[in-house]
Structure 1
Amino acid sequence: MGTKRFPWKGNFLKVPPKVRADLDKIDGDLIAIAAVKSVSVADVQSGLYAHLGLETDLLDGSIVANGPRRPPEDAGKWSYRNARGWDRKRPDLPMVPKSFVWESPNFGDASTYGTHTHHQTRQVYQNQVFEAQGMEIEPTVLSQTTGDHVVVKFALTPLLNRGQPEFELMLLWALNVLQENTGVTGVASSTATKEDFLGTIQLDWDIFPPGTIDDVVSWFTSKPSAASRSPDFDKHLRDRTAAFNKLQPQSYIRGSGQFGSYFGAKFADDLVVFENLRYGNALYILYDDWGDISKRSRLDLLRDHDAKFDRVVHTADWQFQFDKIMRMEMSARRRGKGRR
C-alpha cells in the first residue's frame, strides 16, 4: 500500500471491545457505522480531511462539510478493498475444478507459424469474492465555535444488518474503512427503516433484447447511474457490448441500485455474464440459474465461492480468456452438458 497516508491508527484486526459493547446495547437489526470526533481547525485547514469533503469556507473561514465522499483507495488496506474488491482464499473448503486457457507458439515461432490453444482443468482452492462495496463517508459539523476545534460526526453508508451474510466480516470491514479515513470508529442505532436499508443493497434487473451496439448503449444510458459519470464510460460500455455481441446473447441485462450499476448478457438460463460498470475491474461468468441470480442482492451476488462462477480480470488478454471460456461453455450446452 506504500507510505501511510494519515497520522492516526490504521485499522483493527478484530472488532474493538468498546464497539462490541456498544453493539450489544443496540436494539434491532440495523446498524449505523458512525463516530464523533473533535477535529482541529488547523488540521482541516491543512487539508487532512479534504478527502471526505471537510473543508474551510473561503468567505468566512467556517468549517463546512461537502460530503459524502468515497474514501481513497490508498487510505489503507480496507479502503483499497472497498474500492477494488477482495478475493479471499478459502483453504478450509474443498478444492474445485477450474479451467485455464492459454496460447503457445507453434514450433517456438508465433510470428511465422502461429499459435495453438491449450486448455487445462485442475483442482484449486476456492476463492470467496467480495465485490467493491462502494462505502461512502459523510461528515456533519455538529458544533462550531470560535475555538480551535469543531465537533464532527463521521457516518458511513450503507447501513449494516445483523442478518446479512458475513455480518461479522462486513462489520470489521466497515469499522476499518471509517477508522482508516477519520481516526475514529464506532456503531450507533439507526432510525432508518428496513426498507431504507434494502434500498441500498437490492438491485432492479431490466432485460433488453439483442441489438446493435448503438441500441444497447442507448438503452443502458436511458437510466442515469453513478457509473455513467465514470471516465471513458461510453467506450467501456461499447467495448463490452462488442465482446458480448460476437457470442450472440439471448438478451442483455441491466441491474441498478443505489450503490451499484451492472451490465451484462444472458446466454442461457445458467450462463450469465456481467460486471459492475462503476468499478469495471473484472467480468463475472455465473453458472447459476438466472431466476436465482435475479433475486440476489448487490451484497451477496458474488459472495458464493468460485465453484459457481469464473472471474475474468481485465488484464491485457482478458478478451481472449473470456472468449475461450464462453465458447467452451456454450459448446457444452449445445451438447446438453452444462458446466455444473
Structure 2
Amino acid sequence: MAKRFLWKSNYRKIPQFVQNALIDIDSDLIVVSATKKINRKEIEAGQYSHVGLSQDGSSIIAKGPSQPVSKAGKWSKRNAHGWDRIRKDWPKIQKTWIVESPNFGNGARNGWTMHSRTREVYQHQIFEPQGMTIEASVLEDKGGEQVVVKFALSPILSRSMEEFELMLLWAINVLQENTGVTGVFSSDATNEEYLSTIEVDWRIFPPGSADEVVASLLGSVHPKNMPDFEKHVRERVKFFQEFKPKGYIRGQGDFGSYVGAQFTDDLVVFENIRYGNAIYLLYQNWVEASKRSRLDLLRDQDAHFDRVVHTQGWQKRLASMLHDELFKRGLRSQRNGYRSTPRGR
C-alpha cells in the first residue's frame, strides 16, 4: 500500500516520550492527544481535510469528530475493519470446518453432501473495528503563516483495561498516521463517563412477526450516518427467523448498531451493522457475556466464538454453522447427506 502522508507513519512500540508522559500522569484515564503547528497553505491545499480542517475565507475551521482514514496506515485500517490477531503464544484448540461437495461430481443431479473436518489450530484474538475518531480544535490563529491545532482521539483509555499497552499503541498510532503527531494527557472525564463509552447496554426483544421484530429493534433511534440501517435489520431478522430464536437483541445509545438474535443461553449471533464486515456466533453464557465491554467481548480465546466474515457465500456458511450448533443442543435434526471427516484424514 502506498504511503498516504509524508510524515512518519507509526511506531512499532510505545515511544519513549509517551512512556515519560505516562509517568507524570496520576490519573487512571488517559486521552491520546497532541498539538501541531500547521502551515496555513497545507490546510488550504486540503492536506488535513480528512481530520476536519478547512479554510473559510481567512479563518481555519475545525469540524469533527472525524473518522480516521483507513488508508493512513495499518493501525488505521485495523481501526476501520477490525484485526484478526493470531496468538501462537496461546494453546492450540480444536476447530471444525463445514464444507459442501457435489455427489459424484454433479450436485445439480446427485445432490450435495456436507462434510466437517476438525483439527488443532492456533487461536485467533479478534478485535472488532474500534471506531476511534479524531477531533481537531484550533488553539491559535493569528492570521499568520501557521496555526496551532490540537488533535484529540476518542475514546479515552483506562490504565486498568485489559491489554492497556496494546490499546495505547493502537491509539497513538491512529493519531500519528492521520496527523503526524501523537501524545498522551490526563483525562478530565469521570469513570462513569469512561464506562459509558465501552460498555454495551443490551435490550432483549421477544420473537414475533418480522414486522413486529423489526419495529422493536428499530425503535425511535437510528444510528447516525446509516441510511440503510432498517434494510439491514430487516434482512437479518428474516434470516434469523428461519432458526426460531428465543429473542432478539440490540445495543442501546451509542451502541445501537449492534443487532442480533439469541437462540439459547450459550448461543447468540450478533453483528455491528455500522461496519458490516463480519457476524459473530458467541458460545458463552449470555447473561455473563452481555456484561462485558465491547472492547473485550470478543478479545478472548476464540474457542468461545466464531467469526463469519462477509465475503461471498457468508450467509450460507453462517446457516450451516448455526444449524450444527442448534443440532448439538438438540434443537435441530441432523441434515440428510451430512457426514463427519475424522481429524487427521
Q: Give 1:256 shift.
A: 2.7
Q: Which residue of 2 aligns with 1:199?
A: 196
Q: Give 1:257 shift.
A: 4.4
Q: Which residue of 1 aligns with 2:341?
A: none
Partners of 1:98 and 1:317 lie apart in 2 by: 20
**Secondary structure class of the residue paired with 2:20:** helix
User: Which residue, 219, 222, 226 being the options, matches 1:222?
Assistant: 219
Deviations 1:255-313 (A, max 9, x none): 13436621111101011110111111111111110111111111111111201001111
Q: Which residue of 2 aligns with 1:242?
A: 238
In 2 relative to 1, CA 45–224 (structure 1 residues): closer, same or farther, beyond 3 Å? same
Where do residues 1-340 of structure 1 align in structure 2 (5 Å cutoff)? 2-57=1-56, 60-226=57-223, 229-258=225-254, 261-334=257-330
8 Å CA contact 1:201–1:258 kept in 2: the answer is no
8 Å CA contact 1:86–1:132 kept in 2: the answer is yes
Partners of 1:79 and 1:273 lie apart in 2 by: 27
Higher mean C-alpha displacement, 195-204 vs 209-218: 209-218
8 Å CA contact 2:200–2:255 kept in 1: the answer is no
**Secondary structure class of the residue paired with 1:303:** coil
Partners of 2:154 and 2:220 lie apart in 1 by: 23
Q: Which residue type is aligned with residue 164 of structure 1?
A: M
Partners of 2:5 and 2:228 lie apart in 1 by: 31
**Secondary structure class of the residue paired with 1:334:** coil
TM score, norm. by length of structure 1: 0.94
Partners of 1:118 and 1:302 lie apart in 2 by: 27
8 Å CA contact 2:67–2:132 kept in 1: the answer is yes
Q: Give 1:213 shift.
A: 2.1
Q: Which residue type is aligned with residue 182 of structure 2?
A: T
Partners of 2:153 and 2:196 lie apart in 1 by: 16
Partners of 1:273 and 1:127 lie apart in 2 by: 18
**Secondary structure class of the residue paired with 2:252:** strand
Aligned residues with identical type, % of pairs: 54
Partners of 1:202 and 1:173 lie apart in 2 by: 19
Partners of 1:312 and 1:197 lie apart in 2 by: 30
**Secondary structure class of the residue paired with 1:258:** helix
In 2 relative to 1, CA 13–62 (structure 1 residues): closer, same or farther, beyond 3 Å? same
**Secondary structure class of the residue paired with 2:303:** coil
Q: Give 1:121 shift.
A: 1.6
Q: Give 1:214 shift.
A: 1.9
8 Å CA contact 2:58–2:143 kept in 1: the answer is no
Aligned length: 332
Q: Which residue type is aligned with residue 88 of structure 1?
A: R
Partners of 2:20 and 2:256 lie apart in 1 by: 32
8 Å CA contact 1:202–1:257 kept in 2: the answer is no
8 Å CA contact 1:260–1:298 kept in 2: the answer is no
- 4+ aligned runs moved over 3 Å, structure 1: none
8 Å CA contact 1:101–1:118 kept in 2: the answer is yes
8 Å CA contact 1:201–1:257 kept in 2: the answer is no
Deviations 1:132-151 (A, max 9, x none): 00000000000101211100
8 Å CA contact 1:200–1:257 kept in 2: the answer is no
TM score, norm. by length of structure 2: 0.93
Q: Give 1:114 shift.
A: 2.6
Q: Give 1:37 shift.
A: 0.2
Partners of 2:260 and 2:25 lie apart in 1 by: 40
Q: Which residue type is aligned with residue 240 of structure 1?
A: R
What is the alpha-carbon root mean square deviation over aligned residues? 1.5
